[in-house]
Amino acid sequence: MKRKFLSIAAIYLVSICFFIINVINNFPVVASLLYLIVIVMSSTFFNELLSSNIYVALILGMHCIGCLVIDYTCIDVGIYLFSLTAVLLFSYFKTLHKIKEERVAVERNQFQKIRFKNMMDAIFILEESSLRIVDCNDKALSLLNRKDGCIGKCIKECISSNIMDSIDLDNLEKYFEEGNEEIKVLGKKCNDFWIDMRIKRFHVEERRYLLLCISDITRHKKNEEEIEYLAYHDTLTNLPNRRYGDEKLQLAIKNTLKKKNMMSIMFVDVDEFKMVNDLLGHAAGDRLLQEVARRLQESVRKDDLVVRLGGDEFMIILENICFADEVIGIANRVIETFSQRFRVKGRSLSITCSIGIAVLPHHGTDVETLLEHADVAMYEAKRNGRNNFMIFNHELRDESLIGGTII
């Protein structure tokens, strides 16, 4: 850059010498007009002179031509003044246009800076070689909670290691040279929030930089989790719903058959629930179901799953059963917890339940069969007076469902 300034200074020094020659020779017409053109170009395209040698060479060429024709031409004073006025007007309007363009460029540059600083995503500009942060916007500082700033620091110092470890920073150059345009890291947990991260490479002259964009997707992630929760849970009791229960039952059957173990499912139906709804209203019925759900969860083991199938029906999935007595013991605990009266809308209610039980592999090895047999056993428990449990029996089928024994 220093050489360019020196060369331009030398050209202008030569221009002054040419002007003096023109004055001595009474302003020859070609030399004088060419000189005026040089003035226009020098004032209008000065910025371009710093970035291109074409204009420098053009100026020098014009002056040389002017000197060569000095002896053969002369200029009238009126023509000279007219030419000078025309050139000055041209120079004025050209300069005015240039100023307007520069003003627009400045405004556009300021707009880009404001937009960069106020973008909703966190933006970092990094040196590729050192991963040092060259610039970042306000969202980046807010996201990382860095009040002291992070300009000049390595990105590894500012972002959690579990995020940066997901990117092979040592082989970024090789990655981009293989033709990849972007690195994406989606759905990563960073402290208390979730982020998407993208890295792109760009060049400024011969220097290489990385554009790191971090999007805070915490709200989106929470919405996804809420939607998923609603899709798999009952909103009244907060228990897993039938869809979730069916998926877990399929998985439990697969694992049990693989381990050659035992498991069981229970169908629990609240006796005379319709009467509670009719006498006390649906609000009371809902409150009763919530209390039933709570008691069922307290009656089972830690790893057992209680599912609301719909209405007043519930399902309990019991995995890792070693002996039939374990199933019977849990069924007795459920019936025992129903023996305590329920308080609903200021009233004390005596509520019982009927339970149907099916055991894998004795009563089936697939979802449909186990559900069907547990359902049959549950209705048999109701026909036998309610407030008890029945375990399905293959040999007796419809007529030989017995309580408390597995054959």
CATH (domain of 347):
3.30.70.270
- For the ranges 7-16, 120-129, 242-251, 336-345, the lowest mean pLDDT is seen at 7-16
- For the ranges 42-46, 86-90, 297-301, 359-363, the lowest mean pLDDT is seen at 42-46
What the block records as the tokens of 361 is 């592999």
Q: What domain count does the chain have? A: 3
Residues 6+ apart with CB under 8 A from 55: 41, 45, 48, 49
Q: Do 103 and 130 share a structural domain? A: no
Arithmetic mean of pLDDT over the chain: 77
At residue 402 the predicted structure's pLDDT band, cuts being 50, 70 and 90, is very low
Q: Do 274 and 352 share a structural domain? A: yes
CA distances (Å), origin 387, targets 308, 335, 342: 19, 7, 15
pLDDT of residue 252: 95
pLDDT of residue 268: 96
Query: How many C-beta neighbours within 10 Å does residue 351 have?
Result: 21
Q: Is residue 401 part of a domain?
A: no
- Does residue 51 have a pLDDT over 50? no
Q: Is residue 396 part of a domain?
A: no
Q: Do 137 and 205 share a structural domain? A: yes
Report how far Cα 71 is from the mean position of its chain's Cα atoms.
Answer: 77
What's the CA gap between 324 and 363, in Å, rounded? 13
Q: Do 333 and 279 share a structural domain? A: yes
**Which residue has better confidence, 288 or 29?**
288
Q: What would the pLDDT profile of 33-49 be if each residue is shown by its tens digit?
A: 666 665 555 544 444 44
Hey, what long-range contacts does 399-403 have (CB within 8 A, 24 or more apart)?
A: 401/376, 401/377
Task: Give the pLDDT mean for 372-385.
Answer: 90
Tell me the pairing of strands 193-204 and 182-190: antiparallel
pLDDT of residue 341: 93
Residues 6+ apart with CB under 8 A from 285: 273, 276, 277
**Which residue has better confidence, 294 or 279?**
294
82: domain range?
A: 2-116
At residue 270 the predicted structure's pLDDT band, cuts being 50, 70 and 90, is very high
Q: Do 365 and 350 share a structural domain? A: yes
Q: What is the CATH number of the domain that holds 170?
A: 3.30.450.20
Write the DSSP symbol of residue 234.
-
Q: Do 261 and 202 share a structural domain? A: no
What's the CA gap between 407 and 385, in Å, rounded? 22
Q: Do 132 and 106 share a structural domain? A: no
Q: How many CA atoms lie within 13 A of 204 on its CB side?
A: 8
DSSP letter for each residue of 306-342: EEEEETTEEEEEEEEE-SHHHHHHHHHHHHHHHTSPE
